[in-house]
Amino acid sequence: MKNFIQPGDAMAYTNPGPGAIASGDPVLVVTRLGVASVNIAADAQGTLRLGGVFSLPKTTDNDMVQGDNLYWDAGAGELTLADGAGTNVLAGMCFAAAGVGAATVQCRLKG
C-alpha cells in the first residue's frame, strides 16, 4: 500500500525540556500517554512507545482491578481511577490488579 507509513506503536518525540526524560518514564503528549524507550536529553529527540503494557506509577490510594480505566494525573505524576473532572487523561486499561498501597500498576496503553 503506497500510503502506509509505520505500525504506529512508536513515534519520534522531541523533549521540550527543561529536564531530561529517562527511559521508562511516562510522557504526556497532549492527550496521549507514551513511555520513553530511551533516555531523551532536553531539546533532543528520542522514541516514545505508544502501545503495549508497562509498569507505571500509581496512586497508592486506589484498588485497581483488571479492566479498570486508568487516568494519568500529570500534576501527581501517577495513574489513578479518577478522571479528575476531565483534567486527567485516559491512559489505558489496568492489565493486572494492583491494590491499595501498591506503588505501580501494569497499564495497557490506550492506542
pLDDT band at 86 (very low <50, low <70, confident <90, very high): confident
CB 31 within 8 A of CB 57: no
pLDDT band at 87 (very low <50, low <70, confident <90, very high): very high
- For 59-82, what is each residue's pLDDT tens digit? 999 999 999 999 999 999 999 999
In DSSP notation, 66-110 reads TT-EEEEETTTTEEES--GGGTSEEEEEEEE-B-TT-SEEEEEE-
User: What are the sequence ranges of the domains in the chain?
Assistant: 10-49, 53-109
